A and B are shown apart, each in its own frame.
Chain A
Amino acid sequence: NAGVTQTPKFRILKIGQSMTLQCTQDMNHNYMYWYRQDPGMGLKLIYYSVGAGITDKGEVPNGYNVSRSTTEDFPLRLELAAPSQTSVYFCASTQLHRDRGTDTQYFGPGTRLTVL
């Protein structure tokens, strides 16, 4: 299994540009998440999805959009990039079990984004 994969690994954007960060998981997990990590800080939740067609906001959703058309894919869209969006972005997935809640959350390797 590849687990959680993310592309690209690195990207530099100019202010006002747009881009999509890709995330794919091959574990058939129903729950997927996007986090951002700023230098020296823990991770903060941007958006999450509990299944195909269902998404919801996390702590820091402004400036981002998501979609979940399949179980495997959960892309994150940045519109009108701003310097404040310079960060490392992590995608994660897990499985919800009715009897014991969510399992271990598995993370992708991250996308390092710089907005200049």
Chain B
Amino acid sequence: KQEVTQIPAALSVPEGENLVLNCSFTDSAIYNLQWFRQDPGKGLTSLLLIQSSQREQTSGRLNASLDKSSGRSTLYIAASQPGDSATYLCAVVRQGGKLIFGQGTELSVKP
């Protein structure tokens, strides 16, 4: 059974710091991997989708990597800002587009 784990569960950093969020999964038979952002009381916003054949994707200050063989993905956030404060969720994409989610990392960026 596929399990997705995110470490750490919570993270607090000062503004301007570069940071890495980790996601690991137990079954490497995935189609894609997707990173989301969730603000309190809100829905999910897609940040990056990495196809299984890709090793990384970049969007602005965000860079996500994928290593299927080791069952790991990382989300790198450069020059963090208070507006980046949110919960970040990773999800592996299985056949049929079904998502298996981690429990999320709650990020707080202090001014």
What size tier do the contact residues of chain B reach?
20 to 34
Most buried by B among A31, A48, A56, A107: A107
Question: Can you name the residue of chain B whose Cβ is closest to the Cβ of A101?
Answer: B31
Shortest CB-to-CB span from A24 to chain B, Å, is 14
- CB neighbours (8 Å) of A48 from chain B are 96-98
Question: Can you name the residue of chain B whose Cβ is closest to the Cβ of A102?
Answer: B97
Q: Is the CB of A105 within 8 A of B43?
A: no
Question: Can you name the residue of chain B whose Cβ is closest to the Cβ of A58?
Answer: B98
Residue-wise, chain B 5-41 has the 8 Å CB interface mask toward A (1 for contact) of 0000000000000000000000000011010100000
Query: Which of B's residues lie within 8 Å of A, judged by CB?
Result: 4, 31-32, 34, 36, 42-46, 49, 51-52, 89, 91, 93, 96-104
Query: Which of A's residues lie within 8 Å of B, judged by CB?
Result: 31, 33, 35, 40-45, 48, 50, 56, 58, 90, 92, 94, 96, 100-110
